[in-house]
Structure 1
Amino acid sequence: MSKKAPALIMLGPDPEARGGIASVQRIWLQAGLLDERPVRVLTTYRDGSALRKLGAFVTALLRFLLLLAAGRVAAVHVHSASNASFRRKSVFLALARLAGKPYVFHLHGGAFDHYYAGASFLERAWVDRTLHGAAVVFTLSEGWANWLRINVGHPDVRVLPNPVLPVTLPAGVAREPATLLFLGRLEDAKGVFVLVKAIARLARKFPDLRAVIAGDGDIRAVRDAAERAGVLDRIETPGWVDGGKKLRLLARAGVFVLPSRFEGLPMSVLEALAAGLPVVASRVGGIPQVVRNGDNGALHEADDVASLASALERVLADPAAARAMGERGRRRVLADYGVERIRALLNAVWDSLMTPASERFAR
């Protein structure tokens, strides 16, 4: 395939960065979803200092301008969340509109409604203009699709779930039924402090209860909260983990927990299910479409300590039932969120957008 052929331009964070969007991009690359057509990936964000982040944005913007000027852009697919993520991507999409290039807006993250509600009149108008300019808007769940249809009114909003690959766990790691695993940013929005309080409620009933709370963010605040709750000796905070370290934690844990206040369709939940873990998670975003009460885990109300403690207790009380939940979850998530389903949904849109306009209108 000639590098000079007009390409699909993919805009998003560095696939090796931390976070859900980067995880999705890694899976797309590993599964070869970008191999069937000319694709150029432009990195608009990198982890690190403010200067490194700015450098990634400016470099991607200059490359995008050069590709537009050279006639080498067929269409654009942008991965976006809220706030700064959206603002960065909206600059590229404004240029795509000026150049008459079709684009897909792919909404990730679970706080876009809060961002939209809190935006000024002018910024909300800019959001509307950006989304209405998209040929297709992808969301992670039907709930988010309905929100966009009602609040933004785009005529073509489609659900594109995050994909998951089979998980091969390392041998020789003993499963600990009473060990909880949290993977995510250590911040209030992810519910980590609610989790610490729930652990304190359950500590007497489950003497072996432990929790591995892994991720970047405010580790000190989590440990201070655990100390105040009297459960610091039950908490491990290894920081950010990936690769083999993450797989060992998935192999060791008995239950995965994600008590977020809001979400899209978390990759961590899909990966935990693919690893055969029962999942206890908040009833927000796209989580209820993959976690089903009593079947492959338990749901609880967000920001509610009592509700989370009750959900955890139901799963921890019967380790054999929890293992069966995990196995059901593994089978279902690989069937419903496998890569081939995502490939078909993506190709239908990309093939349409990358067809020359003259051919589209002649049909």
Structure 2
Amino acid sequence: MRIVHIVTYVSVDGAFGGPIAVALAQLTELARQGHDVELLAGWDGQAVIDAEGVKVSLFKVRRIWPRGFSGLWAPGLARAASTRARSGAVIHIHLARDLVTLSAARAVSRHVRPVVQTHGMVMPDGRLLARLLDRFLTGAVLSHARSVLALTEREQLGLKEVARGPVVVERIANGVALKPASGLARRPNEVLFLARLHPRKRVMSFARMSKILVDSGAAVTCVVVGPDEGDLPLLRAFVKEHSLEEALVYEGVLPTGQAVHRLAQAGVYVLPSTAEVFPMTVLESLASGTPVVTTNDSGIAPQLASLKAAELTDGTPERLADAVQRILTEQELRDSLVSNGYKGLATTFSIKAVATQLSAIYGSQP
């Protein structure tokens, strides 16, 4: 099959990292299974993407209004998507409330019914802009799709509410390929936060956890990696106030596609965020052989608990610190988490199974 995936934005800071990581994982495995695959994405003009077996076509974005990703537009992408659709390609859109993917969906809808996947980004939202986009664009895209893919039951219900008309929603998991660290120097006492510095990701809980570890005498270096979306000034002020310049370091941003490599260097990965639908960095950490500390408040938590593949907490700095300290000091626990994570990637989070399911969806109807 000729398969084309469409994603909003690729940039040097990896700000739209989750959906890009999902699309690349899916496309790489689909290519391994013999399909002809391509990624179309909006582009900042600087980022470089290289994925085995995947043709990558990037289109410079314009900013129509200053509202995050929703204000971006890539007219060249919409035209290219229409051309691919006319040629008979299967179109899979990683849809958000933005003009890049919504305009692409409108363009291809004249020729094909696309597969749509929203990654928890399109849920009922009472804000005016969201209501307007849903009324005039998003709802119609969902109801026209041949299939809409949801990660959790909550997302499935939300998509049916947003859609204007009947909608076919199917459940799918995220998956990544097993990528054990090779030739990398792991820093066993490094505790890593890798996510956007947005209040929902709760980098300040990570910062307070770091202070607890330092105050307890733990020989750790805590590192924050990710683009600023509001919390960087708070983080820097906290570091200065508590004289943590040597123990709590902001490393900056990470290029798209480098998450697994960076995670493989850390001793522990900590994601204290709330209301995550299906955090890809957790799966990427499992793939890199790095133990994970995260919260119970995510769509992936039940599977992690069943697999015993991560330390789950209530997200408070104290519980996060306790979990990190156990992993750093109990080799048996560390080994168990890594082993169970690998097993989970071969079963629950198998990218091979995800790609096989996608192939069936693509071929099931015109």
Q: TM-score range by the shorter chain?
A: 0.7 to 0.9
Give the direction of change, closer, same or farther, for the CA distance of 1:8–1:274 in structure 2 (3 Å limit): closer
> Would you say the 8 A contact 2:26–2:354 is kept in 1?
no
> Would you say the 8 A contact 2:181–2:264 is kept in 1?
yes
> Would you say the 8 A contact 1:216–1:239 is kept in 2?
yes
User: 1:58 maps to which residue?
Assistant: 75
Q: Which moved more, 1:342-351 or 1:137-146?
A: 137-146
1:10 aligns with 2:22: no
User: 2:56 maps to which residue?
Assistant: none
> Would you say the 8 A contact 1:182–1:214 is kept in 2?
yes
Give secondary structure in 1 for the equivalent of 2:332: helix
User: 1:183 maps to which residue?
Assistant: 194
Please give the alpha-carbon distance, in whole angstroms, between the structure 1 residues aligned to 2:310 and 2:217: 18
Give the direction of change, closer, same or farther, for the CA distance of 1:80–1:155 in structure 2 (3 Å limit): closer
Please give the alpha-carbon distance, in whole angstroms, between the structure 1 residues aligned to 2:181 and 2:35: 33
Shift in Å, 1:198: 1.8
Shift in Å, 1:39: 4.8
> Would you say the 8 A contact 1:15–1:25 is kept in 2?
no
TM-score (norm 2): 0.78
Instruction: Report matched runs for 1:301-316 at 5 Å.
Output: 301=314, 304-316=316-328
> Would you say the 8 A contact 1:191–1:260 is kept in 2?
yes
Structure 1 unpaired stretches of 5+: 2-6, 356-363
Please give the alpha-carbon distance, in whole angstroms, between the structure 1 residues aligned to 2:306 and 2:204: 23
1:78 aligns with 2:93: yes
Please give the alpha-carbon distance, in whole angstroms, between the structure 1 residues aligned to 2:240 and 2:197: 16
Give secondary structure in 1 for the equivalent of 2:191: strand
Give the direction of change, closer, same or farther, for the CA distance of 1:317–1:34 in structure 2 (3 Å limit): closer
In structure 1, which of residues 313, 316, 320 is the aligned counterpart of residue 332 of structure 2?
320
**Higher-helix-fraction structure:** 1
> Would you say the 8 A contact 1:12–1:45 is kept in 2?
no
> Would you say the 8 A contact 1:9–1:76 is kept in 2?
yes
Cα shift readout 1:34-85 (whole Å, capped 9, x = no counterpart): 8745555432344669x942297111122334556xx42454210123x43x
Cα shift readout 1:2-29 (whole Å, capped 9, x = no counterpart): xxxxx54432246676212222232234
Shift in Å, 1:183: 1.5
Give the direction of change, closer, same or farther, for the CA distance of 1:36–1:193 in structure 2 (3 Å limit): same
Give the direction of change, closer, same or farther, for the CA distance of 1:169–1:243 in structure 2 (3 Å limit): farther
Aligned length: 338
User: 2:290 maps to which residue?
Assistant: 277
In structure 2, which of residues 115, 122, 126 is the aligned counterpart of residue 104 of structure 1?
115
User: 1:123 maps to which residue?
Assistant: 133
Shift in Å, 1:261: 3.0
Please give the alpha-carbon distance, in whole angstroms, between the structure 1 residues aligned to 2:106 and 2:259: 39
Give the direction of change, closer, same or farther, for the CA distance of 1:60–1:246 in structure 2 (3 Å limit): closer
> Would you say the 8 A contact 1:183–1:215 is kept in 2?
yes
Give secondary structure in 2 for the equivalent of 1:280: strand
Structure 2 unpaired stretches of 5+: 48-58, 64-72
Amino acid at match of 2:219: D
Please give the alpha-carbon distance, in whole angstroms, between the structure 1 residues aligned to 2:77 and 2:257: 31
Q: Which moved more, 1:337-346 or 1:228-237?
A: 228-237
Q: Highest Rg: 1 or 2?
A: 1
In structure 1, which of residues 40, 43, 54 is the aligned counterpart of residue 41 of structure 2?
43
User: 1:207 maps to which residue?
Assistant: 218
Give secondary structure in 2 for the equivalent of 1:336: coil
Give the direction of change, closer, same or farther, for the CA distance of 1:47–1:200 in structure 2 (3 Å limit): farther
Shift in Å, 1:179: 2.5
User: 1:296 maps to which residue?
Assistant: 309
> Would you say the 8 A contact 1:300–1:307 is kept in 2?
yes
Q: Percent identity?
A: 22
1:268 aligns with 2:303: no
Give the direction of change, closer, same or farther, for the CA distance of 1:338–1:209 in structure 2 (3 Å limit): same
> Would you say the 8 A contact 2:25–2:177 is kept in 1?
yes
Give secondary structure in 2 for the equivalent of 1:292: helix
Shift in Å, 1:245: 7.3
